[in-house]
Structure 1
Amino acid sequence: MANHKSAKKRAKQSQVRRLRNKSVKTTLKNLEKKVRAAKEEGSDNKDEILRKTQSAIHKAAKKGVIHKKTASRKISRLFKFMNA
């Protein structure tokens, strides 16, 4: 356990950030699953779902939840999957 005041604060901040990042990552996984399901079903709104997913991935990268290049790779693979 932390002894210094600043170390206690850092531990608290780290825990809050971990929970927030976990939530964002879970949302991204669910959106990616929706994109793949929409493609397989031949859904009419698959382009809209893809745009929402792309936006969410960019936001996660902007906030530092995932790396910028990881975001680019995920988006690239999703578009490649949708256009195949």
Structure 2
Amino acid sequence: MANTPQSAKRARQNAARFAVNKMRRSRIRTYLRKVEEALASGDQAVAAEALKNAQPELMRGVTKGVFHKNTASRKVSRLAARVKALATA
């Protein structure tokens, strides 16, 4: 429980920020899930399109402070490699 007006305000701000970040994380995970589903289906064109849509969302998460830059880059890189592997398989 907050003891001062300042700490009460900070608690409110943290709760609001948590809700926004939770929404952003959920949105990004949805895009990533779509890429995973496309990869599982084995359709390279659909997977490439899903990755093309997911990449800006991941990077937007970086600019908004939801993910670290390297984390997002790593995810994009690994997904891109898997999409590329579908083309050769």
TM-score, normalising length: structure 2: 0.83
Are 1:26 and 2:54 matched, yes or no? no
The amino acid across from 2:80 in the alignment is: F
Shift of 1:70: 0.9
Aligned length, in residue pairs: 84
Shift of 1:48: 2.4
Are 1:15 and 2:8 matched, yes or no? no
Shift of 1:45: 3.4
Gaps of 5+ in 2: none
Distance in 2 between residues matched to 1:80 and 1:50, nearest whole Å: 11
Distance in 1 between residues matched to 2:45 and 2:77, nearest whole Å: 21
Alignment of 1:3-82 (within 5 A): 3-41=3-41, 42=43, 44-82=45-83
| CA deviation profile, 1:18-58 (whole Å, cap 9, x unmatched) | 11111111122221111121123216433222111000000
Return closer, same or farther for 1:25/1:48 CA change in 2, 3 Å cut-off: same
TM-score, normalising length: structure 1: 0.88
**Poorly superposed stretches of 4+, deviation over 3 Å:** none
SS of the equivalent of 1:45 reads: helix
Q: Is the 8 A contact 2:44 2:83 kept in 1?
A: no
